Amino acid sequence: MSQKQKPKGPKRKIEPHLHSTIIVNQPMVRDFSTGGGHLPGDTLVEGDDKIVTKKWQGYPPQNLNLIGKPRPPLAEVAIPRYTGKAEYATRIWFPNMLFAKLLGSPHPRARVRKLDATKARHMPGVAYILTRENSPKTYPLPEELFFQGDIVAIVAAETEDIAEDALEAIEVDYEVLPFASSLAQIMSPNAPDLSQVGRGQPNVDGTAGGGASGFTGPARRQQRGNLTTALAEYGDVEKGFREADIVKEFTYYYAGGVVAPLQPCGSVAKWDGDRVTVWGHGQAIYPARALIARGLDIDPKNVRFINKWNGGTFGGVRQASEKFYPWVAYISKMAGKPVKLTLTKDQELAHMQVKPENIQKFKVGAKKDGRITA
């Protein structure tokens, strides 16, 4: 970078730890690995001890000329991955461990009239079957099934094959309910009332979700039939339009999509007395621990959550991994053995948080020099 190209303005001083003598030659990166890393502010407050963590990690780089130059991998990361010693949740194994399998609804929306798991419970090798009737009251399996693949039962057995055979032995009578499978259908005048879909369902972070991040004020939400709108304002919008040299309105359509991480979604739970350890695959440590504690109605101090190795999450894995943690831990407690759950690819696609089909309407005001005013 030449002298003329150097950015102007004050430099931000970042103090290294006094005990550290490590010189980092790579640019600093913002640490999004902990819950809340995407929210405004330079620090996170986490855990029971209210630990303050800076989002900006590392030291000022000595050289920003990195484009087109190879960077050596970090040995502490690359070697365990290459040798197979990295303890991803799907690689965790214990003696006498049980394997869990999921029974999902084949219908886009339904209610279970009757479920009979008698034959499955009597099959050799089946250790435990979780249904709505015996699921934890603080984290029950859903009463109404809002999406194809929603969980009806979970079987834990000595082998994956036995668990899958037991799933086929469970008899379920469904009441199929009205549904809509596209944005056009749900916005049509004759669309079924789906305004309550998902209400009361387990939420991985314990919140209502859907907030508008990046705005200083809370979003104002409004329900109109099947549609929910959220309005978040920053500054004087109307003034910005009046000051604009040009105002444009346009519509953007997105067909929807889902992520596909390399690491299979899953978890392992193991109890030691009143304490449970869960190995998982997600994007947050403390929120996941809080979810497990809340779902099992136990003290968070009795929950240890491990997510040291991660094969990609991309913002969508939480719904396909984290929401199962309390159920896997509960089955492990009831069965008295470690339990491992690994989702199949079709189950991942059914449970991952998707970027839904949507229509976005924009109104933008800007100056002739390119500055956006509203």
User: Taking a C-beta distance cutoff of 8 angstroms, is the pair 255, 285 a contact?
Assistant: no
Q: Cα separation of 223 and 210, whole Å?
A: 13
Residue 117 confidence (pLDDT)? 97
Q: How many domains does the chain have?
A: 2
Query: 172 and 36, same structural domain?
Result: no
Q: What share of the chain is helix, strand, coil (3-state, %, to 5)?
A: 20, 25, 55
Residue 52 confidence (pLDDT)? 64
Residue 47 confidence (pLDDT)? 61
Which residues pair with residue 90 across a beta bridge?
Answer: none
Tell whether 20 is covered by a domain.
no
Query: 102 and 144, same structural domain?
Result: yes
Query: 175 and 58, same structural domain?
Result: no
Q: Which two tokens stand for residue 161?
A: 């094959």
Tell whether 334 is covered by a domain.
yes
Residue 312 confidence (pLDDT)? 83
Tell whether 107 is covered by a domain.
yes
Residue 190 backbone phi and psi in degrees, to 5: -95, 15
Which residues pair with residue 57 across a beta bridge?
Answer: 29
Query: 111 and 152, same structural domain?
Result: yes
Give the three-class secondary structure for 363.
strand
pLDDT 10s digits, 183-241: 888 888 888 887 766 544 444 444 333 333 333 345 666 777 777 777 777 789 999 99
Which residues pair with residue 361 across a beta bridge?
Answer: 251
Residues in the chain predicted with pLDDT less than 50, given as ranges, are: 1-37, 59-60, 199-217
Residue 319 confidence (pLDDT)? 74
Q: Cα separation of 207 and 230, whole Å?
A: 16
Tell whether 44 is covered by a domain.
yes
Q: Cα separation of 260 and 354, whole Å?
A: 11
Q: Cα separation of 285 and 289, whole Å?
A: 6
Query: 140 and 61, same structural domain?
Result: no
Which residue, of 14, 49, 65, is where some domain finishes?
65
Query: 264 and 166, same structural domain?
Result: yes
Tell whether 163 is covered by a domain.
yes
Which residue range(s) make up the domain with 60?
A: 27-65
Q: Which pTM was predicted?
A: 0.74
